[in-house]
Amino acid sequence: MATTVTELHNRIHALMPQARSDLAALVACQSVADPQQYPESEPLRAAQLVIDDFTAAGMRDTRLEQMPDGHPAVFGHIPAPHGAPTVLFYGHYDVEPPLDPTGTAWKSPAFQLTERDGRWYGRGAADCKGNLVVHLTALRALRALGVNPPVGIKLIVEGAEEQYARGLEDFIPAHPDLLRADTIIVADVGNSAVGIPTLTTTLRGIANVTVTVSTLENPLHSGTFGGPAPDALQALIRMLATLRDARGNTTIQGLDAEATWPGPGYPAGQFRANTHMLPGTDLLGSGTVADMLWSRPAVTVLGIDCPPVVGSTPSIPARARALVNLRVPPGMDPQHAQNALIAHLHAVTPWHARVGIERVALGPPFTARTDGPAYAAMSHALEQAYGRPTTTGGQGGSIPLVHVLQQTYPDAEIMLTGVEDPSCLAHAPNESVDPAEIEHMALAEALFLANYPASAPQPAD
């Protein structure tokens, strides 16, 4: 191509102050898509910033598209030159609630981008506003150098991803031509470590349930009736304890929990450091970290409804409830996994307690194609941007939208990238991003957009 790697690198480096300004403005939007916690005007403010920024970066007809669930998404596009392929960029402008925004958990204001120890802190700095800034910076760099992207580009930025909304998932099959593309880049993950270019090739699925245990018509005095009267909370605890063995392996009857990860591993020491495990605590499971994280089902109790310690009375609980999260590895049917979890909980219910189980969430796992021209072009672009070979990894999380994209556009290559790293604390207090990741990923995207067409197949539309 006429534009060299050095020219793009220099241009993107010069754009980093603007990238910081872009991210600061986005982080300042308290775009939690839950009107019970934050005004609806805040997500809309973030959406308008996305529209304005991408329009300035060369996107056409950038606008809000109303989703079936009422949460709008931002759409924009740059038409493809004749015979050229189209690339779709995905992101989201909403964020998780900050958790303790005015307390001591955050070392700096959650909605104010703050630089500290070489990182930029703020809610959404990594997940996923930092990824939006990557797209912006790549497009601005090409535009500043007078380079018209030799591909078509489409953009979809949803507004309620963190609230498990299904609006975009329902919208895409009903409007397939709007987002049809040859390559789809889902920028909502990241590298295995800062400075190590990583393409995520698998995602776990999800199969959540809520289990409610009832044993009495109402709570009873623990002195007068304690002993023979069945305790709903203890019944629930006994049930939940059967979901893992003493080593921490998942032990749901009917689910294979012995698969192994075939790719590069995840060193145990690195995992301990990334998770800030307390000294002396054990890693769970009989497999490697990569096996447990990317290839095996993992069950987590996300929450329990029961009397709190403060304000409790000497009473036998009559009812208790838990939200159980089951992560489903690639190759496992999430419906089968959820059925197995439900059957297991019924089978281990003690004392003939009454049990009600509600299916809460279901999403399939994902395995990416790694043999296409887009994958090869992105792998090479990442290698050029970072100055070291691109590696691959799994992702223990779930992105149900990816399955919808795969089903709707079966011929498209779907790649998972992003600026998150194990230290970013996405979803937790003190979320942050390393600005070097924004710079390197923006360079990789710009290089990809410039070079992908040379080896691309016939366009999707």
Collapsing DSSP to helix, strand or coil, 74 comes out as strand
Beta strands 315-316 and 354-363, pairing class: unpaired
What's the topology of domain 5-203+365-455? Aminopeptidase (3.40.630)
- Provide the terminal-to-terminal Cα distance of the chain, rounded to the nearest Å: 25
Give how far Cα 256 sits from Cα of 162, 266, 287, 332, Å.
29, 21, 13, 9
**pLDDT band, residue 456 (cuts 50/70/90):** low
**How high is the pLDDT of residue 1?**
45
Give how far Cα 148 sits from Cα of 79, 80, 88, Å.
11, 10, 16
Tokens describing residue 175: 């409007």
**pLDDT band, residue 220 (cuts 50/70/90):** very high
Beta strands 86-92 and 152-158, pairing class: parallel
Residue 214 phi, psi (nearest 5): -130, 140
**How high is the pLDDT of residue 36?**
93
Catalytic residue numbers, as ranges: 94, 161
**DSSP code, position 339:** H
**pLDDT band, residue 100 (cuts 50/70/90):** confident
Task: Return the domain boundaries, the chain.
Answer: 5-203+365-455, 205-259+296-363
**pLDDT band, residue 290 (cuts 50/70/90):** very high
Give how far Cα 206 sits from Cα of 94, 114, 227, 238, 255, Å.
21, 34, 38, 23, 14
What is the model's pTM? 0.87
Q: How far apart are CA 444 and CA 161, in angstroms?
A: 25
- Residue range 65-85: mean pLDDT, rounded: 95
pLDDT tens-place string over residues 236-250: 999 999 999 999 999
Q: Dihedral (C-alpha) 381, 386, 391, 392: value to the nearest 10 degrees?
A: -70
pLDDT tens-place string over residues 419-436: 999 999 999 999 999 999
Percent of the chain with pLDDT over 90: 90
What's the topology of domain 205-259+296-363? Alpha-Beta Plaits (3.30.70)
Question: Residue 116 burial (CB < 10 Å; 0-12/13-18/19+)?
Answer: exposed
